[in-house]
Amino acid sequence: MIEAARSDSKLDGVLARDDLFWLETAELEDLRFALLLDAFARVVARHATYARYCEREGFDAERLAAERTLTDIPLLPSRIFKHGVGEPAEGEDVLLTTSSGTMGGVSVVPRDDATLTRFYAGLAAVVRELLRGENANALILNLGPSAREARALWISYVMAGAAVLHPSRSYVRDGVLDIERACADLLATSDRAVVVGPPQLLLEFARAASCAMAGDHRRRDVMVVSIGGWKVRGGETIARAAFQAEIASSLRISEGDIRDAFSMVELNSVVLECESHRKHLPPWLHARARDPRTLAVLPTGEEGILAYLDATAASYPGFVLSDDLGSVEHAVRCSCGRTGDLLTVTRRVKRVEARGCALRM
Amino acid sequence: MAGRLATTPSTELVNVPKVVLGRIVAPDEDAIIIRTADGLTLRLARFTDGDLVAIASAREQTLSALMDLDIQDTTLFLAAVGRAWLGSLETARTGVLEHVSRTTELPVEMLAQDYRAIGHALSHRAYVYDLFAVELGDEWAMDEWRRVQASTVRAYPRGIVVHGLVGNTPVAGIASIARGLITRNMNLAKVAARDPLSPMFFAQVCAQVDSEHPLVRGLSIGYWEHSDPVGERATCLGDAVCLWGGDEGIAAMRANARPGAPVLEFGPKRSLAVIDLDAADPEVVAMRLATEVSFYEQEACVSPQRLFLKGDYERLRDPLRRFLDIAAQCAPKVTAEPDAHAHVSFARLEAAYRGWPLTCGRDWTIIEAPDPNDVREHPLGRTLYIHSVGSLDEVAEHLDETVQTVGVFPWHIALPHRDAWARRGIARIVELGLSRHPRKGFSHDGLRALNSLVRFVSVERPIDHYYKYLDEPYAEGAERDLFFHD
């Protein structure tokens, strides 16, 4: 227990640092490895099924420590969480967070206090770094439900999570977006406003706000953060470039102030874009693209299935092979000045049903 | 060759025409571009409202000519098409089949088998007579007024049959159109992006045989995107609609069907195998099972996804691995789609996590899952879940109306179980290995499809024909009771 507590305090200490995105590559890699080594040991100690899995795979903390091969940590496919495997043991005090179920079946991920606390700490670290300072008097306009109404739906929970860091208002009640109230609040605030929401709702908001601001030439300090699906009804994908151009023009802001954020219910972290529109992986999160056929780790920049190792998940193994295709550029110096791994999420893996007349069961 | 399919295998761009009332129309500047995962570009002629207007305008005259045909005319024509199709296969193997392989992501060897089956089925005129006898009740159902109790009945074409095709099994698309042709309907087929070439190739062969034949003049084939409103209007033209594929595609087209138009749905379904290894030769079982698991990359509704096995799996393990390897050598997996591979990788990883015994070849996967209920998703792609059962009585509880075909071996094990399984909702029981080769008299997804593609017209006898229910004429008063009178 003392060992575990020490590990936890190391992670918590890291989450509080303010130089996380400015470390040199070697230091960053050492830190990431140390955090994930601790996380792996903790998860194996706590989750018997995962421990047996590792045993069958011949993998343990000693081997990880000796070989330093993070990519050998056994992964769980994210679909496991749709099959009831992520549900907690009896008596465990957890929040059962869920996916939206748009990919067929709802994922259920149990989160205890420690996991949620670290999620918020990680979110705070990411936000203060990439959204220019936590101390700014920012008003968060959340185009989603409040945390109370969002209940367990993870993506709404993430959006509402910003409320912990800043004054915040939510504009979705009973599933309906109150766009007029959101526009009125934007016009009324003299502070910085950060508008958070899924791309489709952000577009609707920006169009309404553009009309509301007609004749008002004041320059506003507005930042827009998109999170969630890029598809609209009918399956059409919103083109990112057109989205940015329309949001920037409607709200009269620079495209650098429009950022996309990524999370998924099986991930206990948020990955946010910098001003150069690149998604920087925080030090507690490791990601690699895997060959879809062999699951071998792909070289930098090559597209494959994205696999994550998240050191902040405690109540479930945060070592997950996702349903997403994308790429990871390793140890890149971004044009924003930061150095690290850059994540690109391309799209979800298509459902098998799209391929023929076979019913997949 | 304007308006013809390009057949040079090295061609990276394939122009795909449309067929409007038998006329082959090349793509123009408004063509739809589709790129396959491995870089082949398809340039498809866009189906337009103008095409639909032409089809609707020609309906009366074309149907009149179609109704003048008899079963001899239609079968002689289709047999000629079948022979021409088979004759063109050598060319096709070095041309169209290569391209179809790239769009469907199925091996050329599999497609060649499918194409040969299509040619043979069309060439045998007797098949149509057999089909009419089973599905319409009489070989002459469309040619003569046949006495049926106190009536005479003759079947007529419904009018225009609209087909929503899938691309995972070329034979299914051609079979759908052929059903419309033998019932002397006009046909409008929407091809799948995954296989626009097979139905077009069929139309070309038909036109080569006789471009003025009424069956050809009633045939239209094209492609439109899901969001194109022309799709809604095309489906609306259908006097009957045949839909193939997955839930979403079927639901989208079904919603546009005209009230009163029968909608025949084929898919989505799943299939499985049941084997009593204590009464079977493992080598025979392995060969048949490996072929069925490998064919169509399991993306067809007839492909078995699970095996319920009675007997010692150890006896089957090595033969099954060997025959799956042989199938992979004969017809290696060719898909370049990361998604197809990803689903198999997910399934393998889940099996490893759960501790289910896992055996993998380069192209195939066997997972021994003790409890069938623990398997919630199937990745397809030559993956077989094996569930050991102590008694075949245990199989029924895992069947429902989503199951199409149960492939059994040896065949006789079906007999004591067929009632229990049928009551659970399945559509077919076949001998393992024959799921792709339906025997005469089979039912398709629970239907007799031709029945919905014709109108049965009856001419009923007058009241003075007693038939079997009267021994003497209606009494004068009783007859008057049938009518209003003063």
Are B158 and B185 spatial neighbours (Cβ–Cβ below 8 Å)? yes
Whether residues B268 and A359 touch (CB distance < 8 A) is answered with: yes
Write the residue in B226, B374, B380 that is nearest to A360 by C-beta.
Answer: B380
| Distance from the B48 Cα atom to the nearest Cα atom in chain A, whole angstroms | 21
- Cα(B161)–Cα(B149) distance, rounded to whole angstroms? 30
DSSP letter assigned to residue B42: E
State which amino acid sits at residue A270: V
Label residue A252 exposed, middle or buried (CB < 10 Å: 0-12, 13-18, 19+): middle
C-alpha B86 chain-centroid distance: 20
Are A309 and A285 spatial neighbours (Cβ–Cβ below 8 Å)? yes
Nearest to B122 by CA among B153, B84, B71, B94: B84
State pTM to two decimals. Answer: 0.90
pLDDT in tens, B224-273: 998 899 999 999 999 999 999 888 889 989 999 999 999 999 989 999 99
**Residue from A56, A303, A355, A360 whose CB has the most chain B CBs within 10 Å, to mutate:** A355
Residue A5 has what pLDDT?
44
Question: Which residues in A lie closer than 8 A to residue B247 (C-beta atoms)?
Answer: 353
Residue B2 pLDDT > 50, yes or no? no
pLDDT in tens, B315-333: 999 999 999 999 999 999 9
Question: Which residues in A lie closer than 8 A to residue B301 (C-beta atoms)?
Answer: 356-359
Q: How many CB atoms lie within 10 A of CB B406?
A: 26
- Cα(B176)–Cα(B162) distance, rounded to whole angstroms? 10
- Closest chain B residue to A293 measured between Cα atoms? B341
Residue B486 has what pLDDT?
78
Question: Which residues in A lie closer than 8 A to residue B166 (C-beta atoms)?
Answer: 356-357
Alpha-carbon distances, residue A71 vs A153, A295, A312, B100 (angstroms): 30, 10, 17, 38
pLDDT band of residue A21 (cuts 50, 70, 90) is confident
Residue A354 has what pLDDT?
54
Residue B436 has what pLDDT?
94
DSSP letter assigned to residue B451: G
Residue A103 pLDDT > 80, yes or no? no
Residue A85 pLDDT > 70, yes or no? no
* SS3 assignment for B67-96: HCCCHHHHHHHHHHHHHHHHHHHHHHHCCH
Q: Is A295 on the interface with B (CB under 8 A)?
A: yes
Length of chain A: 361
Are A227 and A155 spatial neighbours (Cβ–Cβ below 8 Å)? yes
Peptide bond into B268 cis (omega under 30): yes
* SS3 assignment for chain A: CHHHHHHHHHHHHHHHCCCCCCCCHHHHHHHHHHHHHHHHHHHHHHCHHHHHHHHHHCCCHHHHHHHCCHHHCCCEEHHHHHCCCCCCCCCCCCEEEECCCCCCCCCEEEECHHHHHHHHHHHHHHHHHHCCCCCCCEEEEEEEECHHHHCCEHHHHHHHHHHHCCCEEEEEECCEECHHHHHHHHHHCCCEEEEEECHHHHHHHHHHHHHHCCCCCCCCCEEEEEECCCECCCCCECCHHHHHHHHHHHHCCCHHHEEEEECCCCCCCCEEECCCCCEECCCCEEEEEECCCCCCECCCCCCEEEEEEECCCCCCCCEEEEEEEEEEEEEEECCCCCEEEEEEEEEECCCHHHHCCECCC
Residue A78 has what pLDDT?
93
User: Where do the domains of chain B lie?
Assistant: 13-266, 270-431
- Cα(B69)–Cα(B216) distance, rounded to whole angstroms? 13
Whether residues B378 and A360 touch (CB distance < 8 A) is answered with: yes
Q: Which residues of A1-12 are buried (b: 16+ CB within 10 A; e: fewer)?
A: eeeeeebbeebe
| Distance from the A361 Cα atom to the nearest Cα atom in chain B, whole angstroms | 5
Question: Which residues in B lie closer than 8 A to residue A82 (C-beta atoms)?
Answer: 376-377
Q: What residues does A339 pair with on adjacent strands?
A: A333
DSSP letter assigned to residue B192: B
Residue B375 has what pLDDT?
94
Backbone angles phi, psi at B270, to 5 degrees: -130, 160
Are B22 and B31 spatial neighbours (Cβ–Cβ below 8 Å)? no
Whether residues B268 and A353 touch (CB distance < 8 A) is answered with: yes
Fold match between domain B13-266 and domain B270-431:
no
- Cα(B301)–Cα(B271) distance, rounded to whole angstroms? 6
pLDDT in tens, A322-353: 999 999 999 999 999 999 999 999 999 987 76
Q: Is B342 on the interface with A (CB under 8 A)?
A: yes
What value does the mean pLDDT take over residues A55-81? 96
Whether residues B269 and A359 touch (CB distance < 8 A) is answered with: yes
Whether residues B341 and A292 touch (CB distance < 8 A) is answered with: yes
CATH number of B13-266: 3.40.605.10
Residue B53 pLDDT > 70, yes or no? yes
What value does the mean pLDDT take over residues B76-96? 87
- CATH superfamily, with its number, for domain B270-431: Aldehyde Dehydrogenase; Chain A, domain 2 (3.40.309.10)
Whether residues A356 and B227 touch (CB distance < 8 A) is answered with: no
Residue B1 pLDDT > 50, yes or no? no
Q: Identify the weakest region by mean pLDDT among A206-215, B72-81, B438-447.
A: A206-215
Q: Is A349 on the interface with B (CB under 8 A)?
A: yes
Q: Can you read off the two tokens belonging to residue B299?
A: 């993306």
Q: Can you read off the two tokens belonging to residue B130?
A: 């057999």
Question: Which residues in A lie closer than 8 A to residue B172 (C-beta atoms)?
Answer: 357
- Cα(B285)–Cα(A310) distance, rounded to whole angstroms? 46
Nearest to B198 by CA among B96, B311, B76, B91: B96
Indicate the helix (H) or strand (E) that contains B384. strand B383-388
pLDDT in tens, B101-153: 999 999 999 999 999 999 999 999 999 999 999 999 999 999 999 999 999 99
- Cα(B98)–Cα(A127) distance, rounded to whole angstroms? 52
pLDDT band of residue A260 (cuts 50, 70, 90) is very high
What value does the mean pLDDT take over residues B77-90? 93
Q: How many CB atoms lie within 10 A of CB B130?
A: 14
